[in-house]
């Protein structure tokens, strides 16, 4: 066998994207991967077409088109009162995905430790491995996905370089409170640790919960890298436009990593991104209201079919407990759902380092049209013939 690197052997292909492949094979409804099956806003599609017609078709400035960086800075100031220098404190990347790996590579050395809450968005584990870092996992516990402050404090040490946060959270739907973030901030200050915070679901939030940016917490502006992107807010996951906002002494190295990873994000789509970020407040309110409706529809469907879960406070996922269904594992349950019911989900263990913690869990996504969710409802009826409740 040809030799491959030890790094490449330490993680598998994405389970989520594998579920999408299985979904196609079985002609299933895709409630696995977090992309919308509805249209992106007309205004931004038009803006993308205009940019291509205007021949914005060559490499953008490696750290991002000025129009997009200006729009990111203006929106951050407008929304949270946080001043960002678009010339020195922003790196535009190929999605939040690249912003995360570029940030980790920029600040972490082999042997450093990185604190990661679990369950976690599945990229964070491989990202840490690629950077040579050792992840220290701290559990978020169902049903409310809270963490034990003592357990978190015990994960920090002289070796800790960064903590990775994601709020609103995939896969749990948790929105970290200001008090929780303040507690994390105290640990970051005590141990001289940076926070890398993935806030890509900042606008998808329910029931009066508020998104609090880590960079707004006292003591954190100088030690926070905030990651975001167009994918979720504007229903354009295939455009691959994201960014990192960081103090200039961190943004510089992130830009350098990004330059040598991908050179630049798609140039015409960055121009469309500038138009997207200038959309009025009503866009965000209506988008969140649409997700609140979809959440109600899927919660109702899953309740009727016997799944157990806590309603998400933000993002667009439902992490369900399926222990009582009698499957041997989450993988067996997800495989049954995709092959027999023809509804694709993600086995819970793919979000955990401690695989047994995810063995009784299956994740659903509801960034889908109502018809798609209703079709899944019909198909899930078959589950009743299999489960041993």
Residues at the contact surface with ligand PLP, assessed by CB under 6 A: 34, 95-97, 121, 166, 170, 198, 200, 229, 231, 237, 242
- Considering the complex, what minimum distance in angstroms separates the CB of residue 316 from ligand PLP? 9
Do the bridges between strand 346-347 and strand 343-344 make them parallel or antiparallel, or are there none, so unpaired? Answer: unpaired
8 A C-beta contact, residue 372 and residue 298? no
In this complex, which beta carbon is closest to ligand PLP, that of residue 161 or of residue 174? 174
Q: Which residue has the tokens 């008090």?
A: 179
- Considering the complex, what minimum distance in angstroms separates the CB of residue 240 from ligand PLP? 7
8 A C-beta contact, residue 187 and residue 218? no
In this complex, which beta carbon is closest to ligand PLP, that of residue 235 or of residue 349? 235
- Considering the complex, what minimum distance in angstroms separates the CB of residue 190 from ligand PLP? 26
Q: Could you count the other beta carbons within 10 Å of the beta carbon of residue 300?
A: 12
CA–CA distances in Å: residue 114 to residues 165, 181, 201, 274, 309 = 11, 17, 22, 33, 29
- Considering the complex, what minimum distance in angstroms separates the CB of residue 53 from ligand PLP? 25
In this complex, which beta carbon is closest to ligand PLP, that of residue 124 or of residue 309? 124
Residue whose C-beta lies closest to ligand PLP = 95
> Which residues, in sequence order, are bridge partners of residue 104?
none
> Which residues, in sequence order, are bridge partners of residue 146?
141
Do the bridges between strand 113-118 and strand 160-166 make them parallel or antiparallel, or are there none, so unpaired? Answer: parallel
- Considering the complex, what minimum distance in angstroms separates the CB of residue 96 from ligand PLP? 3
In this complex, which beta carbon is closest to ligand PLP, that of residue 163 or of residue 383? 163
Q: How far apart are CA 286 and CA 217, in angstroms?
A: 28
Q: How far apart are CA 131 and CA 116, in angstroms?
A: 14
> Which residues, in sequence order, are bridge partners of residue 165?
197
- Considering the complex, what minimum distance in angstroms separates the CB of residue 120 from ligand PLP? 9
CA–CA distances in Å: residue 130 to residues 119, 135, 137, 266 = 19, 11, 17, 24
In this complex, which beta carbon is closest to ligand PLP, that of residue 94 or of residue 383? 94
In this complex, which beta carbon is closest to ligand PLP, that of residue 269 or of residue 383? 269
- Considering the complex, what minimum distance in angstroms separates the CB of residue 229 from ligand PLP? 3
In this complex, which beta carbon is closest to ligand PLP, that of residue 64 or of residue 95? 95
What percent of the chain is helix, strand and coil (3-state, nearest 5)? 45, 15, 40
- Packing angle, helices 370-380 and 281-304, rounded to 10: 10
């Amino acid at each position: 066998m040809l030799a491959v690197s030890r790094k490449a052997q330490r993680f598998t292909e994405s389970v989520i994207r594998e579920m999408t492949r299985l979904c196609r094979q079985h002609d299933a409804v895709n409630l696995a991967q977090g992309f919308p099956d509805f249209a992106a806003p007309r205004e931004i599609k038009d803006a993308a077409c205009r940019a291509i017609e205007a021949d914005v078709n060559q490499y953008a400035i490696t750290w991002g088109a000025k129009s997009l960086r200006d729009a990111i800075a203006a929106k951050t100031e407008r929304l949270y009162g946080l001043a960002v220098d678009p010339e020195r404190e922003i790196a535009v990347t190929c999605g939040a995905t690249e912003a995360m790996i570029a940030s980790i590579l920029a600040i972490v050395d082999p042997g450093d430790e990185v604190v990661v809450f679990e369950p976690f968005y599945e990229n964070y584990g491989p990202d840490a491995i690629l950077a040579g870092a050792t992840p220290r996992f701290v559990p978020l516990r169902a049903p409310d996905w809270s963490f034990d402050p003592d357990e978190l404090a015990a994960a920090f040490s002289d070796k800790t370089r960064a903590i990775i946060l994601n709020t609103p959270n995939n896969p749990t739907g948790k929105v970290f409170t200001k008090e929780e973030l303040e507690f994390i901030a105290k640990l970051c200050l005590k141990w001289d640790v940076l926070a890398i915070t993935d806030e890509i679901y900042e606008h998808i939030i329910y029931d009066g919960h508020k998104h609090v940016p880590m960079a707004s917490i006292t003591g954190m502006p100088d030690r926070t890298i905030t990651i975001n992107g167009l994918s979720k807010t504007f229903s354009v996951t295939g455009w691959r436009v994201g960014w990192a906002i960081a103090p200039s002494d961190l943004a510089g190295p992130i830009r350098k990593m990004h330059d040598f990873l991908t050179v630049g994000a798609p140039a015409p789509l960055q121009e469309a991104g500038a138009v997207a970020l200038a959309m009025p407040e009503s866009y965000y309110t209506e988008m969140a209201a649409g997700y609140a409706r979809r959440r109600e529809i899927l919660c109702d469907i899953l309740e009727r079919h016997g799944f157990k879960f806590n309603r998400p406070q933000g993002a667009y996922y439902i992490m369900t407990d399926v222990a009582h269904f009698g499957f041997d594992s989450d993988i067996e349950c997800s495989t049954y759902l995709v092959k027999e019911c023809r509804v694709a989900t993600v086995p819970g263990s793919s979000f955990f380092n401690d695989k047994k913690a995810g063995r009784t869990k299956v994740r659903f996504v509801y960034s889908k049209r109502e018809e798609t969710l209703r079709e899944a409802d019909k198909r899930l009826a078959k589950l009743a013939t299999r489960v041993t409740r």
